[in-house]
Amino acid sequence: MRHLNRIILSLLACSILSAGATSTKARAAEAPFKKVMILMLENTDYDEAVVLPFLSQLAKRGALLTNYHAVAHPSQPNYVALISGDTSGVFLDFNSNLDRGHLGDLLEAKGKSWKVYAENYPGNCFLGGSLGKYARKHVPFLSFTSVSGNAGRCARVVAAPQLDKDVASGTLPDFSMYIPNLDNDGHDTGAAVADKWLAKKFGPLLLNSNFMDGLLFVVTFDEGEHDDTNRVFTALYGAGVKAGATSDIETSHYSLLRTVEDAMGLGTLGLNDEQATRIGGIWQ
């Protein structure tokens, strides 16, 4: 009888594990998008950004998060938080060298690709703090030594012109970030300039099926400028997004990370992403 009970318990355990695995696969299969690109702009309050011509149209064509917040000041902690689930003790904009996990680890563990397209990036794993209009602090993967100290992984950070080649060849990665230079992200010029640049650069791409096939395109800001709540504009456009939807659920950069993790079946980094509110109310 004891032997029989052990067999029954073993079969039940296998059944539960199998059901859990099936459920995880089903959730991944039902994800509203297959790929993600996140584009970060700079230092602008929600109220200023939401009325700009291209951003307001993007929000109407896609979905707008009206209660989305950055997590820190100044810029760099927000970039680090977005891909690692924590600011990791980064509280200034100096070069950081962090020995800990990040989104790239989760993606690679599941056989998924990632890449960063950075404007004015000189290539060859350049680790200087800045060069012309390029700023390393806005390229968060380079803040992690598992990337900066690994030639193969560092090669995933590329100069921005590579994007057009990847679109043409149909080789966009599963996850990507597009990092504008200090003029185009509004850091040195203001949000209105960033809005005009975004319309010129990404307006045509959003109509390009090679670019948009299965893609969720996200535009957000690293931080607010004057709003004490650090509320920033965030719009989502593309695969699975209900056009014209808005959500007033309180979310943050950690929420965006958690949403990507869940949709791609990556698991979490076990930090602030673990408890973060997922982005909801905007999906078809």
Kindly list the distances between the CA atom of residue 236 and the CA atoms of 163, 165, 241, in Å, as whole numbers in the listed order. Answer: 19, 24, 7
Cis peptide bond upstream of 74, omega within 30: yes
Task: From the candidates 166, 183, 188, 262, give the one annotated as an active-site residue.
Answer: 188
Which 3 state secondary structure label does DSSP give 283? strand
Which 3 state secondary structure label does DSSP give 7? helix
Query: Catalytic site residue 262?
Result: no
Q: How many whole angstroms separate alpha carbon 177 and alpha carbon 31?
A: 19
| Residue (of 18, 81, 30, 66) closest to 253 by Cα position | 81
DSSP for residue 154: H
Tokens 């949403």 belong to 259
For the chain, state the CA radius of gyration. 20
Q: Beta strands 130-131 and 215-221: pairing type?
A: unpaired
Catalytic residues: 188
